[in-house]
Amino acid sequence: MHDFKFKNNELHCESVKVSTIAKKVGTPFYLYSHHTLVDHFTKIQKAFKKIDPIICFAMKANDNLAVLKTLADEGAGFDIVSVGELKKVKKVGADPKKIVFASVGKTEEEITAAIKAGILFFNVESLPELEEINAIAKKLKKKTQIALRINPDVEAATHAKITTGTLRNKFGIDLQTARHILNEQKKYPFLKINGLHVHIGSQITSSAPFIHAIKKVIDFIGVLQKEGIPLEYLDIGGGLGIVYHDEKPQTAQDFANAILPYLEKTGLKIVMEPGRFIAGNAGIFVTQVLYLKDNGFKKFLIVDGGMNDLLRPSLYDAYHDVVALKKSNAKKVKMDIVGPICESGDFFAKDRIFPQLKKGDLIAVMSTGAYGYVMASNYNVRGRPPEVMVRGNKYAITKKRETFQDLMRGECIPEFLK
Ligand SMILES: *Cc1c(COP(=O)(O)O)cnc(C)c1O
């Protein structure tokens, strides 16, 4: 499932001992396994081989250049959400005909850049956005393809902050409006509206919510067909869940078995946007113990990484497995594993039974390859950590640790304060 394993009681990433990397790059840092990324991508590709979908990695999950290059080399497309992501993914030679662009708030600059780049299609989230894209395409004299992101109004059975497919959420277009747009296509001569898109949320561990959504989409496609509206693409979004704790998520093959019959029925070219499934378990966050504190009521293992580096526990109450890089014989007790940031929400684990490690010992927060580094900030004037990739017995820093100079770039004291 992933390539972070203990050999001789020491955590390795593929063939490299993780503590060796820690010595070289310092802590904290993110570490990615090239092989795991390829393996997860290939698993989806194989499971869906029959329909040969366009698999667009949702790069908001992990936009490290080495990760993007790894996946582009495997033939992945990309699901982007900003012009920054577009520019970044172009650097790894991604095929624009495999790029899809979602976001409820695309700006004129972003739309212009994406049309010029010749992306596969925009996933459009509202009528005003559709009109804006038509106007910009007209200016550029370039017809552009559109998939309407529909909001199927289904619950995804996941954390509220990562549910996107109900009408309480800002995403997508309700079915009635979508139908209206498709029937009035002539009003948008610079658009070819030939796709539907649906993404109902993230970390979904069973196929039921997907099937529920797909069935709604199929019914909708049936209505459109009766009205003589042809479609070419169906983009089923991302959202496949992974193991963080004791989840029993479906495998790519389980998911394919459950959903393929429905997808085949549509006769449309399928696009998928997995993010977490590919990157989540392909990364870890390594940090070092500073202190073990006991306030008489509770114990705290204080480490040098913080919520500014890894926000998921604080933002989503996410559970992450935590392991000592070197298997420890120290007595195990209940403790919180926390960072140095001045927030009570700065934690990686709560009430965890964990060995009483000592200063300098190294630990890894597992399954942090998705929505980890990308959400890091400079809160508390902390430089973001480096990102490292392992491939076989090699490793390289793919993004350097931010220095104080990096943090100060662009900041000044105004004249009127001098
Ligand atoms: C976030 C997102 C994804 C990826 O979600 P995962 O849960 O990481 O697979 C795919 N599509 C869209 C539109 C998204 O917003």
Summarize pLDDT for 312-352 with one digit per residue, the tens.
999 999 999 999 999 999 999 999 999 999 999 999 999 99
Q: How far apart are the CA of 170 and the centre of ligand 1, in A?
A: 15
Rounded-to-integer distance, Cα 195 and Cα 144, Å: 12
Task: Give the pLDDT band (50/70/90) at residue 153.
Answer: confident
pLDDT above 80 (res 1): no
Span from the CA of 58 to the centroid of ligand 1 (angstroms)? 6
170: pLDDT strictly greater than 90:
no
Residue 163 confidence (pLDDT) above 90 = no
**Mean pLDDT across 113-142:** 97
pLDDT tens, position by position, 233-249: 999 999 999 999 999 99
**Using a 6 Å cutoff on CB, does residue 276 contact ligand 1?**
yes
* 364 Cα: distance to centroid of ligand 1 (angstroms): 25
Atom of ligand 1 nearest to the CA of 102: 13
pLDDT of 175 > 90? The answer is yes
Mean pLDDT of the chain: 96
Across residues 121-148, what is the average pLDDT? 97
Look at residues 269, 345, 363, 257 and name the one whose alpha carbon lies nearest to residue 306: 345
- Whether the CB of 102 sits within 6 Å of ligand 1: yes
> CATH code for 34-276?
3.20.20.10
Between CA 171 and CA 158 the distance in angstroms is 16
The residue extents of the domains of the chain are 4-31+280-408, 34-276
**Superfamily for the 4-31+280-408 domain:** Lyase, Ornithine Decarboxylase; Chain A, domain 1 (2.40.37.10)
Q: Is the pLDDT of residue 393 over 90?
A: yes
Domains 4-31+280-408 and 34-276 share a fold: no
pLDDT for position 158: 76
pLDDT digits 0-9 by tens, 72-96: 999 999 999 999 999 999 999 999 9
Supply the residue whose CA is at minimum distance from atom 3 of ligand 1.
238
- What per-residue confidence (pLDDT) applies to 404? 98
Is residue 155's pLDDT more than 80?
Answer: no
**Whether the CB of 60 sits within 6 Å of ligand 1:** yes
Question: Whole-model pTM above 0.75?
Answer: yes
User: What is the per-residue pLDDT for 38?
Assistant: 98
Q: How confident is the model at residue 394 (pLDDT cuts 50, 70, 90)?
A: very high
* Cα(164) to centroid(ligand 1), Å: 10
Q: Which residue's CA is the nearest one to ligand 1's atom 10?
A: 238
pLDDT in tens, 26-46: 999 999 999 999 999 999 999
202 Cβ below 6 A of ligand 1? yes
Candidates 13, 56, 342, 412; catalytic one: 342
Active site residue 342: yes
The response to whether residue 125 sits with its C-beta less than 6 Å from ligand 1 reads no
C-beta 147 within 6 A of ligand 1: no
Query: How many Å lie between the centroid of ligand 1 and the Cα of residue 113?
Result: 22
Query: Is pLDDT at 392 greater than 80 in this prediction?
Result: yes
Q: Ligand 1: does its nearest atom lie under 6 Å from the Cβ of 199?
A: yes
User: How many Cα atoms sit within 13 Å of 249 on the Cβ side?
Assistant: 20
Look up tokens 């990695």; give the residue: 57
Percent of all residues in the chain with a pLDDT value above 70, rounded to a whole number: 100
